[in-house]
Structure 1
Amino acid sequence: MREMRPAAARVAPAPDRGRRAVLCAGAALAGWAVTARASAPDARLRERRALMGTQVDIAVQGADSVLLRVAVDAAFARMAALEAVMSHYAPTSRVAAINLAAGIQPVPVPRELLDVLHMAAGVSRRSSGAFDATIGSVGRWDFDPQAPRRPSDAYIREHLGSVDWRQLVLDDRAGSAYLRRRGMRLDLGGIAKLYILQQGLDTLRAHGVRTALVNGGGDVVATTAPQASAWRVGIRDPRSPARLLASLDLREGFVASSGDYERFFLRDGRRYHHVLDPRTGYPTDGPRGVTLVGRELQAVNGLGAAAMVLGTAQGRELIRGSEGVQGLVAFATGELWVSRGLREQLRPAGTQAG
């Protein structure tokens, strides 16, 4: 999946009654200041590891510190195994095998990858192709400012016709995936990460953890036990990345981000960022960023990137028309649009993001 390099993160104490820990992490759009407040003296564990080209943080609390350690290790192992299946950079991944066999034959894939590919097809249908996992067909981009890489204009023109999500054939009975045209390539960077984070959270639950948060490059999934306080998630302002725009309390579900300011490089006077438009093969030139909040993975996954591709009016309507999803869109003009439901959840935030 597409490489992501967030800003540095920190764990630091914050003033409050009782015990509190604050976790701030950079992201494509948002820095998430995550606060866990316990009413009982439960054990707590926070750990960070490199996964999916970014830093993934897990924060858990529970009565048994040994159980928490086992659960966190199992969750990281589960996420690493799924990354090995879904990365288009790894030559041994199933995604790489699908790309290699494009136009030749279907490739057997595990159930988890089929689930992600079905999600990709679903958001492609909902957005009329504004999200398209076959965007990898126009070549590999690298947004590391120290060693940026972009396909040539000629390569993009030559391969843009191969960007077509409808040419991906999924066979649930055979457990296979097939790209119809030779030269087509999948890039699941816009849809696999949130699924993998959810699988990490599900692993924690399977080990008996009832209060947990998994944060990967600004995409957050969380759960809380009935007696525990909600997680506090702070949203970084894409117009001024050092500032927290607002915060919200999250008991169950997702906060997902897409944006243009964290991963980019400058070349020949132009700014290139990581959200690519399937219609052109180049970075989008619409909103600066999108934040989505929802309880269901399938409702929010991939929707932010699609909204950025669609632009101001259509992107806003896509969010409005998505059941169970609330959103915030930051426009290039500096304006903000916030859905009514999300506006009611947000709290002002005057603190600096770390």
Structure 2
Amino acid sequence: MADPALPLGSDEVRLLFSPFAQARAVLLAVSGGPDSTALMHFAAAAARADPALPPLAVATVDHGLRPDSRAEAEAVARDARTLGLPHRLLSWEGPKPATRLQERARDARYGLLVGCARDTGATHIVTAHTLDDQAETVLFRLMRGSGPAGLAGMAACGARHGVVHLRPFLGVPKSRLVAACRANGWPFVADPANADPRFARARLRALMPALAAEGLDAPRLATLARRMGEAEAALASAAGRAIAEARVGPGLYSAPRLLGEPTAVRVRAFGRLIDDGSPSRLERLERLVEAVSAAADRGVPLRRTLAGVLVAFDGAARLSLAPAPPRRTPANLGS
């Protein structure tokens, strides 16, 4: 790995940006921080050097959470236009939640970015997540009890509601992007929320130097993410094969075939059937698989609901999955 104090170079960037060639148009998500500022300037330079690159545009989301946020977003707009890039300023409107603020702000941000991509004809959204962000994500998910899918961290290339999401800097230390901004005189802002101890990610960020001193640094956590990604791919393949072989009809499966798999594959298969890979529900999914397995061992029927899906075992060999009926509430008990 290159010296983390060394500015990221244009030759490296050219290789990192190679997936851009698959896009019809690219939307860069730029907040004004050092990572996304470097992304915008490097992308603009790449477009000048290679006219064959797809059209680029910039979008900045103003979450409205700080007094300075609008001015910072407008500064990004001016910077983008100086670079010859069209800019969209997107606002998160309405009252802000009192709990899970960062999580909901992230959801709102991506919703706005996907909408902007569709409006502008962009097929790809690009964010400037770094190696440090990947490490924090893995730690955060480890803290929340995630399985292999969660511990695989963020993907360098994924999808959001039909729009491709690229993270070209996912293997690059943040320090190299900060160094690039300083070496080139690209102004950037620092979001105080990144150091606000009210937020779990900020508290984890503060722990990183101590963890690194013990050997658990960002590259080591990224290696863990890669290995977990490989393990998850193997589990997904095994689960897909088990589901295909167990299917006996629409929503009907052979319980012995599914339950004959190792526990990790069973959990992955049930998660796919229920269409619920949420790390927050992994423990509930594991409990469901344990209950179905115990019912099969005893030869007794079982009905359980998870994530809006009714899972029913007939006590013999059949497992069925169907949408759960509406819950009975005081409002409809007498109807």
How high is the TM-score relative to the length of structure 1? 0.28
How high is the TM-score relative to the length of structure 2? 0.29
More helix as a share of residues: 2
More strand as a share of residues: 1
Instruction: Select the structure with the greater relative contact order (CA < 8 A; seq sep ≥ 6).
Output: 1
- Structure number, greater radius of gyration: 2
